[in-house]
Amino acid sequence: MVAPATNLHFVMFPAMAQGHIVPMVDTARILAQRGATVTIITTPLIANRVRSVISRASMTTKLKIQLLELQLPLTEVGLPEGCESFDMLESFESSAKLFNAIDLIEQHAEDMLRELYPPPDCIIADFFFPWATDVARRLNIPRLVFHGTGCFWLVCRQVAFTSNVLETIDSDSDSFLLPGLPHRVEVTKLQFLGPSNSSMADRNEFWFRAIKAEEAAHGIIIHTFEELEPEYVKEFTNIANNKVWCIGPVMLCNQDVPDIAERGNKAAINELDCMTWLDKRKPQSVLYVCLGSLARISTQQAIELGLGLESTGCPFIWCVSKENEELKKWFLEDGLEERVRDRGLIIHGWAPQILILSHGAIGCFLTHCGWNSILESISSGVPMVTWPFFADQFLNETFIVEILKIGVRIGVQIPVVYGEEDKVGVVVKKEDVKKAVECLMEEDEDGEERRKRGMELAKMAKIAMAEGGSSYQNVSSLIQDITKTLGSQH
């Protein structure tokens, strides 16, 4: 079955965070592989992070993908120059300012779109851009909402807000049951909403505006695959009352090592060195640790994690993406790297995560439960130790541990607010790290079952993305739908 080629022009607005931009760039590649022209509009900082991958795609494989830069009015909203991405923010409060800045670029974005040639046929904008629905309506083209999270989280979100269950819960820390779901799902108010603060009302106002814009949009693209969460894809399609296309795991469209290594940002280690290190390890023996691009931990917590990794006795790769002077000093003085030199590889900065996870030596992934990381782990058949921080991560943990049954909890109960890590201190002790890793790496019946299930899911993911698979066909269906919609308008 040959996919229909298209000459449509898609314009994409990714949200300014690694977890959002990375799957959007992969989606751009998937559409361009079908012959579409794709324009990605983002901030100069984000454009710089992905420029090499996009240049390579347009130079070597002749894909029609281009980057355009749009400056955010940062000083106008009270943010310092250069603070163009959620991972650059100092505190949770600052995120409200960044949302304000996103709101203020509506007119500028529309002007850019009106000047584009060929003119855009469709806008694909992250959920964080409610105004994109209005702009698309004024340009008389369809707007698709892009969700970088799975259907399970989207259904939980909808159920929590429409069932009024949140109003019945007095305590932030008591767990409650989300009603009417295919599985038993318990969560605390704190885990679901995050700690309440003064910007809560603003957040809710933004949230409801984004949901209204989603309802009025032409359709929804979700970074998941149908076989991973069939009940929740069906459930979300019903409640969204809109067209839904599941097109993931999109990272599987990257075939070349440089593209995989630089996905999202330039790696802080040479990919060859990393692979050579892994080649020397036994199959499924290495623990990979990465807590994502947004999550931060206090220096004391990082130290505790390092000592916990040492105590496991396992070979490990630890990606330390956020490092302050205090932590750098500890690394220098404590001598951890020297002590674990024969079995520990510590990467200070961005790691080539997919290359690492897809290597046969990896046996376990300690993750913050961001949806991209989960899909990357699933696509490689690697079971997970879960350490959620905020946003969708606690519910994602439930999905991994209780529904998919391919993970083990490290035991975190309370979300850590962005920018307030030092107030919280140590939430995961070195003993917790050791215990969870040992539990996951166990060769008992449960461990065997988890690994088997992980391998089955990895196979399903690859089939979904291959020609004729569910995600592949959904991309074809999306292209046909937009072509037909535009045809009926002219």
pLDDT tens per residue across all 490 residues of the chain: 445 567 999 999 999 998 999 999 999 999 999 999 999 999 999 999 999 999 998 887 889 999 999 999 999 999 999 999 998 988 877 888 999 999 999 999 999 999 999 999 999 999 999 999 999 999 999 999 999 999 999 999 999 988 888 888 888 888 999 999 999 999 999 999 887 554 556 667 888 899 999 999 999 999 999 999 999 999 999 999 899 999 999 999 987 777 777 766 667 788 889 999 999 999 999 999 999 988 889 999 999 999 999 999 999 999 998 788 999 999 989 999 999 999 999 999 889 999 999 999 999 999 999 999 999 999 999 999 999 999 899 999 999 999 999 999 999 999 987 778 888 889 999 999 999 999 998 888 998 999 999 999 999 999 999 999 999 999 999 999 999 999 887 6
Q: Which residues of 413-433 are buried (b: 16+ CB within 10 A; e: fewer)?
A: eebbbbeebeeeeebbbbebb
Torsion angles phi and psi, residue 408, rounded to 5: -135, 135
What residues contact residue 170 under an 8 Å CB cut-off, 6+ apart?
Answer: none
In whole angstroms, how far apart are CA 144 and each of 129, 134, 482, 486? Answer: 11, 12, 10, 14
**CATH number of the domain at 9-253+465-489, out of 3.40.50.2000, 3.40.50.300, 1.10.3720.10, 2.40.40.20?**
3.40.50.2000
Token pair in block for residue 465: 């993305």
pLDDT at 246: 98
pLDDT at 50: 94
pLDDT at 1: 42
Largest Cα separation within the chain, whole Å, is: 69
pLDDT at 202: 66
* Whole-number Å distance between alpha carbons of 275 and 278: 5
Angle at the Cα of 107 from the Cα atoms of 38 and 7, rounded to 5 degrees: 20
Look up residue 209 and give its amino acid: R
Strand order in the sheet with 37-42: 65-69, 37-42, 9-13, 122-126, 143-147, 219-222, 243-246
Alpha helices in 291-399 (DSSP H): 299-312, 325-334, 336-339, 353-357, 371-379, 393-398
* Whole-number Å distance between alpha carbons of 417 and 228: 30
pLDDT at 172: 87
pLDDT at 111: 98
* Whole-number Å distance between alpha carbons of 431 and 29: 43
* Whole-number Å distance between alpha carbons of 126 and 19: 11
* Whole-number Å distance between alpha carbons of 275 and 355: 8
Token pair in block for residue 115: 């000047």
* Whole-number Å distance between alpha carbons of 109 and 131: 10
Q: What is the pLDDT of residues 232-289, one digit of tens each?
A: 999 999 999 899 999 999 999 987 777 777 766 667 788 889 999 999 999 999 999 9
* CATH 3.40.50.2000 correct for 266-461: yes
pLDDT at 389: 93
In which residue ranges of the chain is CATH 3.40.50.2000 found?
Answer: 9-253+465-489, 266-461
Residues 152 and 403 sit within 8 Å (Cβ to Cβ): yes
181-185: long-range contacts at Cβ-Cβ below 8 A with a sequence spacing of 24 or more? 181/155, 181/156, 181/235, 182/231, 182/232, 182/235, 183/231, 183/402, 183/403, 184/402, 185/156, 185/395, 185/398, 185/402
pLDDT at 214: 96
* Whole-number Å distance between alpha carbons of 28 and 444: 42
* Beta bridge pairs of residue 362: 286
